[in-house]
Every structure is written in C-alpha cells, then in structure tokens.
Structure 1
Amino acid sequence: MSTTTLKTWQAYAFAAPAFIALLPFLVACVFILRFSLSGESTAIEGFSIRAYQDLMTPFFGRSVWLTLRLALIATIAVMFMAVPLAFLLTSLTSPLTRRLLTVTILLPMILNLLVQAYGWTLLLGPSGALNKVLQSLGLIERPLFLLFNETGVLLGLIQTSLPLAVFPIVSAVRGISREHLEAASSLGANNWRVLKDVTLPLLRPALVGAGSIVFAFNASAFAIPLLLGGRRVQMLGVAIRDMISPLFNWSGAAAAGMILILMTLLVLVTSAWLVRVTTEKTKG
C-alpha cells in the first residue's frame, strides 16, 4: 500500500466519528424525500408528486421569496458587522478584554433562542424599553411597531447568526502574514488601499464561506421568525411548521422541507465554488 493511500485511509478513519454523527441526518433527509413523494398526506403510501404540485401557489412563492430576501439582507448586515469585530478581536492586546468581547459575541450561541426572543420582545415591544426611551426624549409621539413584522425578524436573525461569521473571519485575519501588509505600506499604500487591495482579497475565501453559513442558518430559521414575526412573517420554517400543525399535511411539509434543503445546498455549493475560484486567484 502506497504512502498516499495509507494517509487517505487514515484521514477517513480519523473522520469516521463525524460521518457517524452525520448519518442520522442523512437518513432523515432520505426519509423526508420519500415522504414528499408519498401518495398520501399523512402516511408513506405509493408514489406521487402531488405534494410538490400543491406547493405551486402564490402563497408558497411569497414564502420562498421572503425567506431568500430576509436571509440575504441579514447575511449582508452580519458580514458588515463581523469584519470590524474580527479585526478588533485580533488587535486587542489585553487578554481580559479579548475574553470579555469573545463571550459577548458568543452569547447568542450560549443563550436559549426562546430567552433571546423574549428579550427582543421586552426591548422592541410597544411598551418596551426602546419605545419608552424614544418617547421620553420626545423623538416619537406614538410607539413604533418593531415586533411581528420583518424588522423584528431581521434584528433577531442578525443577532443569532453574528457569531457564525465572526470567528471564521478571525481565523483568516490571524492567518494573514504581516509581511504582505508591511510590503504594501512600504510601497506607499495608505491604510484604505492596503485593506482594499491586500487584506480583503486574502480574506475573500473566509468571507464567502462565512457568508454561506450565515445565509443557510438564516434561511432555515424557525424559532426567531415564529416568535418575533408571528404569523405575519411566513418564512419557510414557519410555513413548514403550519403544514405539520394544525394542517397535518406531512407530505406537503416534507416537500417544502426538501425545497428548503435544495435551496441551502445550492448556496453552499455555489459558495464552495467561489471559495475555490477566489483561492486560485489569490495564489495566482
């Protein structure tokens, strides 16, 4: 057995626990696919594409468009916030300050989504802290409606997905050689030119990868759209939930779930292709 083949088998053996952990998810995807092709709405019997045909309605189309739009807007906002935070984390010299900022960024991943949603409710509600402050300052006369609409959902999506973008970018920033930056500065480039022509191109693979993860996370979100948007913001996660209960349309929910999975996979595959292309350009 050649050395290359041996290393390949060692890599497979090393990754075996991860494959085993992912196996139930893959089996569930196959089960969902089979249910989406069922001839019955509440049981797996026969084969039919009726569940997909039933989704070809303006309501479901609006739900898909709303999901894509909110996920994209939230992803763009997260990326604009994540890059400065990543640079700040890598530039801090005080270990205590760096740990405190890290914990602050990680809070959305530590706290339960239900607790976070109720926190947003207390902050953004008609009688919440934000409206009270704005009214006390005389900036508004009547409370702003920031809940149970797209604004509240966007704020929740941005907050919960921010850590998913910050830390991959932090790793990429730490991997940038100081020699590149010093060489650009010695050639007369100002800070903005260094950021535009050197730093961002080197960070492009990490930015694309982090953005794809954030988009996939936001597109499949359920708790935040349900709690902060209610029935008024029908993202796909909420629509699938409504198909299951109270409609008990299991095959329709499975078909909608497969569409969501395919949308997410398309984004991930596209981002992987962009990462490969940008990496080759950077090396070239």
Structure 2
Amino acid sequence: MKQNRQHYLLIIPAVILCFVFFLLPMMKLLWLSLTEQQGMSYWYILTKPIYLRSLLSTLLLSLVVTAASLIIATVVGLFLTRYEFKGKPVLVAMLSFPLVFPGVVIGFFVIMLAGRQGLFAELGLALVGDRWTLAYSISGLFIGYLYFSIPRVVLTVMGAAEKLDYNLIEAGRSLGANRWQLLRDITLPALTPGLISSGSICFATSMGAFGTAFTLATNLNVLPMTIYTEFTLNANFAMAAALSLILGFITWLCLAIARRQGGSSLGMGG
C-alpha cells in the first residue's frame, strides 16, 4: 500500500505542469472571451464577415493541404518502400529535411520560389513578359504548408508499408486482381491507421501554423494571423481569446477523432 502511494506521488509534477501551462491559460482565455464585450465575441465570429471568412478559409486550406499531402505522400511512400535504388537513403533524408525548419524559414523558401524576385517570377518574365507571383496569396501559403506536411505523411506511410504483408498482394494477383483492386482492398486498408494519424497531424498543424503565414502575410486572412492582429494591433483581447479557443477546439476535436479511429498509431504522425 505504501509503495502504491509512492507511485502516485510521481504524477504530481505532471499534474502541476498541466495545471500551470494548460488549465490556467485556458481558463484565462475563457474568462476573457466571456467577460469582455458581454460575451458577444463568439456571436461576432459567426456574424461578422472578417472573422467568419478567416475561420472558413483556414478550415478549407487545412483540409486541402491534408488531402494533397495524403495523396502525394502515399504514392511516394509506397514507391520508396517497394523499390530499392541507388541514392535512396539520401532521397529519404532529403524528404525529411523540411521537418528541421521553422515556419518562418519555410516562408522565406516560398518567397524565393514564388515571390516577386523568385524563380517563378523570373520564369514568367522570360516566357510571357510578366512576373508570376504566388508567394503572398493563399496559394503561396498552400505551398508552404504542403512543404512541411508531406514529410510527416511520407515517413508514416513508409513505416506502415514496411509492415504490410506482401503475401496478400501476391495472393490477390494470383486470383486475378488488378492494381486498383489490390490498392483498394489490401494496401489502403493496411495503411488507414497511419493515414488517419498523419492526416490529423497535418490538419492540426495547418490550422495553427503561424510562422509561415506571418512571413507571407500580405493578403492572407487565416485564423492565426487574425488572432495576432486582434491581440497586438487592435488590443481586442476578448476576440483574440475566443478565436484561440475555437482554433484549439477544432484541432483538439480532429486529433480526438483521429485517435479514436486510428488507435495508438496516432503517435506515428508526430
């Protein structure tokens, strides 16, 4: 009995950290969002176009980034798992390279690629006499988010595909199944837990990513930038708090659903 009590004492530091760094800030945000402006912040989010547009555009962007990342990374991950070729370790290392960069650096990469003096601009100037500029729009933000989302999914798909029983695939071929049927009935079901976990991480990261949006924030109206503007420029703490809580709730809900559907494989997506 005494030994069990000693074991319970070990959880005290975790409880303290959770209370100080999670519960207290969350309670403060909730208090700000409800006490200032007579608690109308949440109503304003649904009725004022600037806030509603910011929320919907962030949701749509995150969904598109997640879908594109899953499609591209699944193809790449399966290819890298099934085939051996010279330079494969270097290619895998390069694919995981974006994970080491913060969002601000990725924003600079997008500017160098699709900014006013970037490669796309020079190419457009040479071909049609007009600079192609995507960096400072939602398209540039999509490129940036895709850049750091794909590696997460590729690594997860590769980890799941390595455990795939290829005897099932050979059995399906012997029974006359074509490539699409093998992918639909054998490969994708085996990869589903990993795809759910990595997709949820991509969605949550895209919803809350700030560094890349801040670097490219010329004509961007996404939720992290709206929260930053309300807090720093407008001193509208109630609205910033309400938007933060909504952002946190959406990402938490996504991760909770993914954990329920994907089981313990959610940890693979981080």
CA deviation map 1:41-78 (0-9, x unaligned): xxxxxxx5233234341111111110011111111111
Whether 2:116 is the aligned partner of 1:116: answer no
Find the residue that maps to 1:39 and give its secondary structure. Answer: helix
1:142 to 124, 130, 134: 130
Shift in Å at residue 266 of structure 1?
2.4
Contact 2:121 2:133 in 1 (8 A): no
TM-score by length of 1: 0.80
Q: Percent identity?
A: 28
In 2, Cα distance between equivalents of 1:107 and 1:261: 28
Shift in Å at residue 259 of structure 1?
0.7
Whether 2:253 is the aligned partner of 1:266: answer yes
Contact 1:89 1:101 in 2 (8 A): no
Shift in Å at residue 165 of structure 1?
1.6
Whether 2:75 is the aligned partner of 1:84: answer yes
Number of the residue aligned with 1:241: 228
In 2, Cα distance between equivalents of 1:72 and 1:19: 34
Number of the residue aligned with 1:38: 35
Q: How many residues align?
A: 258
Alignment of 1:96-175 (within 5 A): 97-136=87-126, 138=127, 140-175=128-163
In 2, Cα distance between equivalents of 1:91 and 1:61: 45
Task: Decide whether aligned partners of structure 1 residues 252 and 91 sit closer, same or farther in structure 2, where only a CA change above 3 A counts.
Answer: same
1:62 to 36, 53, 65: 53
Q: Tell me which amino acid in the other structure corresponds to 1:157.
A: Y
**Is there any run of 5+ residues in structure 1 with no aligned partner, and where?**
41-47, 277-284
Find the residue that maps to 1:93 and give its secondary structure. Answer: coil
Contact 1:225 1:233 in 2 (8 A): yes
In 2, Cα distance between equivalents of 1:184 and 1:16: 53
Find the residue that maps to 2:87 and give its secondary structure. Answer: helix
CA deviation map 1:218-252 (0-9, x unaligned): 01121222222x24211000000001111112222
In 1, Cα distance between equivalents of 2:18 and 2:33: 21
Task: Decide whether aligned partners of structure 1 residues 14 and 87 sit closer, same or farther in structure 2, where only a CA change above 3 A counts.
Answer: farther
Q: Cα RMSD (Å) of the superposition?
A: 2.9
In 2, Cα distance between equivalents of 1:226 and 1:55: 21
**Is there any run of 5+ residues in structure 2 with no aligned partner, and where?**
264-270
Number of the residue aligned with 1:212: 200
CA deviation map 1:192-243 (0-9, x unaligned): 3211221112212221221111111101121222222x24211000000001
Q: Tell me which amino acid in the other structure corresponds to 2:67.
A: I
TM-score by length of 2: 0.83
Number of the residue aligned with 2:267: none
Q: Tell me which amino acid in the other structure corresponds to 1:28.
A: P
CA deviation map 1:147-199 (0-9, x unaligned): 21111111111112222222222221112112211221221223332112211
